[in-house]
Amino acid sequence: GFGDAPRPERRVRLGVMGGTFDPIHHGHLVAASEVASLFSLDEVVFVPTGEPWQKTERAVTAAEDRYLMTVIATASNPRFSVSRVDIDRGGPTYTVDTLRDLRLERGPEVDFFFITGADALGQIFSWRDADELVELAHFVGCTRPGHTLTDPGLPMGKASLVEIPALAISSTACRERVRRGEPVWYLVPDGIVQYINKRSLYQPERSAEELPT
């Protein structure tokens, strides 16, 4: 059998892309694809956030809808996958919990690359357990139109800053366009346009929380 065969030396390289994905758009997909190429990642797992405990300034779309949209948008890429760890844990998502759960799931033979936008990277030291975070993953900060990419002062070798081809797309802008009756074709994958219509997401007359779950 393979028992005595030399084991492959190369460790699995796993990108982890966290986000609300409300909805997922081409900015997310291009960022994941670009980091996967630059860092020779074997896989990028998209991790939609859980539902917040308390209402924030807006009602976030139901986790199952955000999860399904993320599955639809990533299904055609054999190196993209979706994890339910943050959704199944419930409550507000902390990156340290995401990485701990994925480590338990994937085992010790995997190197994690946490992919995050310039806007989120700026808050890295306000995150809980910042010291543990840098032990759990390498951090990749991506440029994003409208956000300056500055070195947050992470320890050397624990973070990289990369230039992503600029796509000035945000989920907020997509939601507002749908609300105003403007098209989101080509800002989000075709299947996401269809899913938004099917579930009547982001409509002014029917808020997401009134929809059946």
Binder among 62, 137, 170, 201 for ligand ATP (CB under 6 A): 170
Least distance (Å) between residue 107 CB and ligand ATP: 26
161 binds ligand ATP (CB under 6 A): no
Q: What is the distance, to the nearest Å, from the Cα of residue 75 to the centroid of all Cα atoms in its chain?
A: 15
Binder among 86, 93, 96, 144 for ligand ATP (CB under 6 A): 144
66 binds ligand ATP (CB under 6 A): no
Are β-strands 12-19 and 43-48 bridged in parallel, bridged antiparallel, or unpaired? Answer: parallel
Quote the CA–CA distance of 72 and 32 in Å, as a whole number.
Answer: 15
Binding mask 91-120 for ligand ATP (x = CB under 6 A): -------------------------xx-xx
HSE-CB of 127 using CA atoms within 13 angstroms: 21
- The nearer residue to ligand ATP, 15 or 19, going by C-beta atoms, is 19
Quote the CA–CA distance of 119 and 142 in Å, as a whole number.
Answer: 9
- The nearer residue to ligand ATP, 11 or 207, going by C-beta atoms, is 207
State the number of binding residues for ligand ATP (CB under 6 A).
19
159 binds ligand ATP (CB under 6 A): no
Q: Specify the stretch interacting with ligand ATP by CB under 6 A; choose among 7-15, 81-89, 122-130, 168-176.
A: 168-176
Binder among 123, 172, 194, 197 for ligand ATP (CB under 6 A): 172
Q: What is the distance, to the nearest Å, from the Cα of residue 64 to the centroid of all Cα atoms in its chain?
A: 15
- Count of residues for the chain? 213
The torsion angle over the Cα atoms of residues 94, 187, 43 and 40, rounded to 10 degrees, is -110
What tokens appear for 58 in the block? 């807006």
Within positions 16 to 55, which residues make up the interface with ligand ATP, using CB under 6 A?
Answer: 19-22, 27-28, 31
Q: Are 41 and 31 in contact (CB under 8 A)?
A: no
How many Cβ atoms from other residues are within 10 Å of residue 75's Cβ?
13
- The nearer residue to ligand ATP, 22 or 65, going by C-beta atoms, is 22
How many Cβ atoms from other residues are within 10 Å of residue 150's Cβ?
11
Interface contacts to ligand ATP, rule CB under 6 A: 19-22, 27-28, 31, 116-117, 119-120, 142, 144, 164, 167, 169-172
